[in-house]
Amino acid sequence: MFNKLKNEQMVQARVVNTQTVGFNDWCNRMANGSTVTAADVAAVMQQIEDKLPEIVSLNAKVICSPNGLVFRPKVSGRISQSELKAKLVARKAAESDPEKAAQINVDRELTTSDLAISDCIATIEVDLPKSWNDIFKKRVELKRVKKALTETVEETDPQNNTESTNNTGENTEPTNGGESGGPVNP
């Protein structure tokens, strides 16, 4: 793809063939090997869904796992100098009293108080434990599933033991028995 910021071509890896684990399957997996049933897991998940937004809305961060899965409030918003000027110009044009309109300085400097609450968005931010990414990286397997038609590639990835040598654009298969974690298409 062409990157306009860098003004050059780029090749980017993408996740393909993403599978979905539905809520019922998730509850069954969570209950498997434990002393609770899938219905118990579903009930707890429903309680989390009901209570977590309420607690986070009170400006609290909630630590939900021993390794540090954290839910916390986040507010984002911004206003630029040009956006402020556009607002002031519109306000000045809408003002019916000429004296009040004359007092509106459309070229004034931006201040913190110019960021209105209506310019802000409140969301819930999720911080994943670092150990989750470490475990994920150990378990995931990357493989090339498709490549450009004009390119001949000979490579072996020692991490996942895949080889590819065709230039037909066909899918290549891993040489480790065909099992794959989350294939990525570079």
Reported as a single tens digit per residue, the pLDDT across 79-107 is: 999 999 999 999 999 989 989 989 999 99
Six-digit token string for 64: 């939900």
Ranges 40-54, 64-78, 142-156: which has the least confidence: 142-156
pLDDT in the model for residue 33: 95
CB atoms < 10 A from the CB of 183, how many?
20
Mean pLDDT on 139-149: 76
What is the pLDDT at residue 167? Answer: 38
Is this model's pTM higher than 0.85 or not?
no
Phi first, then psi: what are they for 14, rounded to 5°? Answer: -140, 150
Please tell me the predicted confidence (pLDDT) of residue 149. Answer: 52
Contact 106, 92 (CB under 8 A): yes
Question: HSE on the CB side for 84, CA within 13 Å?
Answer: 17
Please state, as a whole number, how many other Cβ atoms lie within 10 Å of the Cβ of residue 161.
Answer: 13
Residue 78 has pLDDT above 90, yes or no: yes
Per-residue pLDDT for 128 more than 90?
A: yes
Element (H, E) at 50: helix 38-56
Can you tell me the distance from the alpha carbon of 171 to that of 146, in angstroms, rounded to the nearest whole number?
5
Task: Report the number of secondary-structure helices (H) and strands (E) in the chain.
Answer: 5, 9
Compute how many other C-beta atoms are within 10 angstroms of the C-beta atom of residue 124: 13
- Which percentage of the chain shows pLDDT scores above 90? 61
Mean pLDDT of 122-148: 88
| E strand intervals along the chain | 2-3, 8-9, 14-15, 62-63, 70-77, 120-127, 155-157, 162-164, 184-185
Does residue 165 register a pLDDT over 50? no
The Cα 39–Cα 36 span in angstroms is 8
User: What pLDDT digit, counting tens, does each position of 4-21 carry?
Assistant: 989 999 988 888 878 999
Name 24's Cβ contacts closer than 8 Å, sequence gap at least 6.
38, 42
